[in-house]
Structures are given as C-alpha cells and as structure tokens.
C-alpha cells in the first residue's frame, strides 16, 4: 500500500511588507536583502491566525481533491507559531471544516515540519491505519519575529499550505523490496539547536532550570523571538540538504535524471542555488517563490506545491523531491510521485 497527493491548497495573507518597508524599521536596504536572500516582500497576517489560514488552505485542498470533510481520517498541522496551544491547531481546523471523523494532532519541527508531517501521514496510510489525510503547514512567524533585529526580520513571512493524501494500492518497489511508498530519509541533531532558537513565553530565560521562580519582568525582549546564527544555519543547509537528497535517491534507487523538480524549503535563494550546484542539477528543477513570501517555515513547501499544481506544472508520473531543513537542527527529504 502507498499513498498519493490528490489535492493541494494554500492561503496567503493579502497584507504585504516589501524590503523598503523593512528598511524603515531596521538599518538595511532592498538591495542588501535581495542580494543576500532573494526575498523582495513577505505577506503578514492582519485578521488571520495560524488556525484560520490552515483551515482555508485545507478547504481549498479538499476542493481540489474533490474530497468531503467527512472523508478525512487524519488532520496533521505542522506549525511552530500556532495561536492556540490547547486545543491543538488540527482540532480547531477539524471544527472549522466539519471533518468529524478525523483524528487530529499537531507536529512541531520548524522548517522540516511539512516533510515530517507528510512522512507521518504516509506511514499511517501505507500501514492501512487511515485512508485519507490532510497535511497542513501553517505559520504566523511575524508573531515570533523581532522587528528590531535585522539579521532575522528580513527573512520571514506568514502563510499556509495543505495537501490531501489518499491511500492507494502498492505499485512500486519500496527501497528495492516489496510494494510500498518511497522511503524518506530524515535526521535531527539536537546538539546544534542553539543555531536557531525561540523560547516559550513560559520559560523566562531558563530560570526554571536554575530552580528560580520566574516573573514576567525576567523575560527579555529577545528571548521569546526567533534568534539565529545565520551563517551557521546557512553552512548547515548547503552541506546537509544535498547530502540528504543524495541519500533518499540512493535508498530508493532513483536517479537525478528521474526527478522533475526539487521542492526545497524556501529559506534563501543562495541556499537553493548552492544545493542545485552541489547536486549538479539545473536551476530549472528548483522552483522558488521565496521572493514573494520570504521564509514561511513549514508552510513554504506546501505553498510552492500548490502554486505549481494550480499552474499545471506537474504531470502524472513525474517524480518530485521534497526537502526541508531548519531549527532543531532537523533535515529530511522524501520522494513524491505525482499521480493525479
Ligand atoms: N542589512 C544590512 N546589513 C546586514 C543585515 C541586513 N539585514 N543583516 C546583517 N547585516 C550585516 C552584518 O551586521 C554584517 O556586518 P559586518 O560585516 O559589519 O559585521 C554583514 O552584514 C554580514 O553579515 P552576515 O551575517 O555574515 O551576512 P550573511 O551573508 O551570512 O547573510 C543571512 C545573513 C541572510 C541571515 C544568511 O546568513 C542566511 O540566510 N542564513 C540562513 C538563514 C536561514 O535560512 N534560516 C532559516 C532556517 S529555517 C528555520 O528553521 C526557520
């Protein structure tokens, strides 16, 4: 048994901030941001929330897949920026959609989150536990952004993307043996977590670890915003992403010639270009939309998938690689066969 993507959807807030708007907040320029990151503007929530964007992206994906909410068995929301802690965002989405038969939970793995959520849903479907899954990445990173820090506030944006997965008969050799889905390759290295952090509002500078009672005054401006060692993350990404793509291709005995597109997490144009170069693959196989949205963490891959789907850029039988990387550190890649 395996599973296939049978519909996609996305939701992008209409309010935008371009690089000139950012340059009014911190000392930077449109030229610097474009050159170092490729980002020109980002969309930022106003009325929306992580849950409302997730629900709208999901609605659009269900419509695209021609699947009714009642048919959904599993809703997985990947997010690091939900407006709700309990109930989980996935349960809130269930309520919005009326997907009364779904089991719902959230998954938190930052920019690798969508790939891990996709793999989780695939494992349930391939194992025969569920038949139809809704996998969503939704982020309101603007709420976690320190708008006084030019090293990070230039990078991030808000949005949501979703995919509907359906179980189908096994048609291929998995990892070379037996029928089943393509096997993913994923890694985590918690020892390098300091490269990209964002403290919970309940952990005021780690005072609990020191056995001291914390108070709101202990919370610094910065600790509950994303903090990043940009160069460390950059070096990690350009080394590990081509490696993990090589691993997933070799595990599944798929050659680069068979891959139509590499759908990478949209963090930085220079990272995407470096990955293409290391894999010796042409840039045409590396679609990008980060110029319009910035880095939307776990929403970036499903937003790009949805845009390409709606533009008619996929054909049945094409193979895609999804690759995510980010905080944790975490990174991973999956092969998807487009079969619509
Ligand atoms: N505008 C102008 N100058 C700036 C800015 C800015 N926005 N930001 C930094 N600078 C300055 C620095 O102060 C430094 O000045 P100095 O030489 O006088 O000290 C100089 O520019 C170079 O700074 P670097 O940090 O070395 O710049 P770099 O080329 O590395 O670019 C960037 C910074 C864009 C953040 C890059 O490191 C990057 O993209 N890293 C990866 C980030 C990423 O993708 N993170 C997300 C991972 S996914 C997730 O899980 C959320």
Q: How far apart are CA 138 and CA 147, in angstroms?
A: 20
Which ligand 1 atom sits nearest the alpha carbon of residue 156? 51
Residue 174's pLDDT band (boundaries 50, 70, 90)? very low
* Residue 295 designated active-site: yes
Residue 207's pLDDT band (boundaries 50, 70, 90)? low
Q: Quick check: CB of 326 below 6 Å from ligand 1?
A: yes
Q: Which of 273, 335, 281, 340 is nearest to 313 (CA)?
A: 340
Q: Quick check: CB of 297 below 6 Å from ligand 1?
A: yes
Q: Which of 23, 193, 230 to mutate to test the pocket of ligand 1 (most atoms within 8 A of CB)?
A: 230
Q: How far apart are CA 153 and CA 233, in angstroms?
A: 15
Task: Give the predicted TM-score (pTM) of the model.
Answer: 0.93
Q: How high is the pLDDT of residue 179?
A: 47
Q: Quick check: CB of 233 below 6 Å from ligand 1?
A: yes
**Residue nearest (by alpha carbon) to ligand 1 atom 44:** 267
**Residue nearest (by alpha carbon) to ligand 1 atom 26:** 231
* Residue 43 designated active-site: no
Q: Quick check: CB of 34 below 6 Å from ligand 1?
A: no
């999956």: which residue's tokens?
334
Q: How high is the pLDDT of residue 217?
A: 54
In order, the DSSP letters of 251-297 are HTT--GGGEEEEEE--S-HHHHHHHHHHHT--GGGS---HHHH-B-G
Q: In angstroms, what is the span from residue 234 Cα to ligand 1's centroid?
A: 9
Which ligand 1 atom sits nearest the alpha carbon of residue 270? 39
Which ligand 1 atom sits nearest the alpha carbon of residue 154? 7
The answer to whether residues 338 and 320 touch, using CB atoms and an 8 Å cutoff, is yes
**Residue nearest (by alpha carbon) to ligand 1 atom 47:** 326
Q: How high is the pLDDT of residue 199?
A: 83
Residue 175 has pLDDT above 70, yes or no: no
Asked if omega into 32 is within 30° of 0 (cis), the reply is no
What pLDDT, in 10s, does the model give residues 212-254?
555 555 555 666 899 999 999 999 999 999 999 999 999 999 9
More confident residue, 203 or 319: 319
Q: In angstroms, what is the span from residue 197 Cα to ligand 1's centroid?
A: 16
């293409």: which residue's tokens?
276
Strands annotated E in the chain: 2-11, 16-18, 41-43, 74-78, 103-107, 132-140, 158-168, 185-188, 196-197, 227-228, 259-264, 319-326, 330-337
Stretch 195-203: mean pLDDT: 79
* Residue 265 designated active-site: yes
Q: How high is the pLDDT of residue 173?
A: 46
């Amino acid at each position: 048994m395996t599973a296939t993507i049978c519909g996609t959807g996305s939701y992008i807030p209409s309010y935008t901030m371009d690089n000139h708007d950012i340059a009014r907040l911190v000392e930077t320029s449109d030229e610097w941001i474009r050159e170092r990151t490729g980002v020109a503007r980002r969309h930022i929530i106003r009325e929306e929330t992580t849950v409302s964007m997730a629900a709208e992206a999901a609605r659009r994906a269900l419509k695209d897949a021609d699947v009714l909410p009642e048919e959904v068995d599993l809703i997985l929301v990947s997010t690091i920026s939900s407006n709700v802690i309990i109930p989980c965002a996935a349960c809130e989405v269930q309520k919005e959609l009326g997907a009364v038969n779904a089991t719902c939970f959230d998954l938190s793995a930052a920019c690798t989150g969508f790939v891990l959520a996709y793999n989780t849903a695939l494992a349930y479907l391939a194992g025969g536990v569920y038949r139809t899954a809704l996998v969503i990445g939704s982020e309101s990173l603007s709420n976690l952004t320190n708008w006084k820090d030019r090293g990070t506030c230039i990078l991030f944006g808000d949005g949501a993307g979703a995919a509907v997965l359906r179980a189908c008969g096994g048609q291929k050799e998995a990892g070379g043996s037996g029928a089943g889905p393509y096997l993913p390759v994923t890694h985590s290295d918690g020892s390098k977590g300091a490269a990209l952090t964002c403290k919970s509002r309940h952990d005021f500078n780690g005072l609990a670890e020191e056995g001291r009672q914390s108070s709101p005054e202990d919370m610094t401006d910065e600790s509950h915003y994303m903090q990043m060692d940009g160069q460390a993350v950059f070096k990690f990404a350009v080394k590990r992403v081509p490696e993990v793509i090589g691993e997933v291709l070799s595990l599944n005995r798929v050659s680069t010639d068979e891959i139509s597109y590499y759908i990478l997490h949209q963090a930085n144009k220079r990272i995407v270009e470096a990955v293409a170069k290391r894999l010796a693959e042409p840039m045409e196989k590396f679609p990008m939309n980060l110029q319009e949205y910035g880095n939307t963490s776990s929403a970036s891959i499903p937003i790009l998938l949805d845009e390409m789907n709606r533009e008619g850029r996929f054909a049945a039988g094409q193979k895609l690689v999804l690759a995510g990387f980010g905080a944790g550190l975490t990174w991973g890649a999956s092969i998807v066969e487009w079969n619509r």
